[in-house]
Structure 1
Amino acid sequence: MYGNIRSRDFLPELTFSASRSSGAGGQNVNKVNTKVELRFDIANSSILTEDEKSRLLAKLAKRLTQDGTLIIVSQTERTQLKNKAQCLLKFYELLESSLTVQKKRKPTKPTLASKVKKMEAKKHQSERKATRRSIDY
């Protein structure tokens, strides 16, 4: 319905910033800005349609800032370039999963075989519990 998200070029609308990572990594962490932060303003995007914007704003509400900006952070890799690639990968996966429309579940009725199997299991359980009872003399 929404087409292939990866075929669209979002790069002009994405903002990247780098900072120092936290955690283990020795001297490299202390002196190199490898942590990358990707920012995407959904409401002001010219690439997305109005329907896609409203869907993303609803689905990603907990991940957005108050002004509707999506922030994705990556600091797992040792280089800024790899973290930037990780951010882009996360971004596209998040958009694809959020814009995918799930099929409505069609409720089905249990089959005769499943009903029989359920009754057999109940009978078996009942017999097992009946043998635990104390015998009155």
Structure 2
Amino acid sequence: MNEQKTKLLAELKFKTARAGGKGGQHVNKVSSKVMLIWPLAESACFNAEQKELLQARLENRINKAGEFFLEASTDRSQLANKEIAIDRFFNLLEDALKVDKPRKKTKIPKAKVLERLDRKKKQAQKKADRGNRFEM
């Protein structure tokens, strides 16, 4: 996995911009926001099937040019934001590549079904007994 991470890191592009938020005048001078850009279609780290899966699961983060886009601007430091963006990137990839287990259908046990029907009969009888008793 470490080999693949190094290859992926080589494919990443970073852009910086001025971030809003805390920092006062410092914010107006320093480009601390980091934008991570990864060309998914051109990546040599994944096969076609994995790319398709990533495309489907991360579609809201992929632009029309086929580039994965992620921003980090939580910290005042550009270096810290870059590390945050890289961590988020690997976490997102890991989650997107997980294969979901198929759901096994379960059947309600017959005893539980009969128990429920018995409760319903008792409730219906209780309500029927409350009816108008003085009919002529």
CA shift for structure 1 position 50: 1.5
Give the structure-2-normalised TM-score. Answer: 0.79
1:52-131 matches, within 5 Å, as 52-112=50-110, 114-115=112-113, 118-119=116-117, 130=127
Percent identity between matched residues is: 35
**Higher CA-based Rg:** 2
Counterpart position of 2:20: 22
Residue type matched to 2:63 in 1? Answer: T
Residue type matched to 1:61 in 2? Answer: E
After superposing on structure 2, the runs of 4+ consecutive aligned residues of structure 1 that deviate more than 6 Å are 123-128, 133-137
**Structure 1: runs of 5+ lacking an equivalent:** none
Give the structure-1-normalised TM-score. Answer: 0.79
**Structure 2: runs of 5+ lacking an equivalent:** none
Structure 1 stretch 38-47 or stretch 114-123: which is displaced more? 114-123
CA shift for structure 1 position 60: 1.5
> Aligned residues, how many?
131
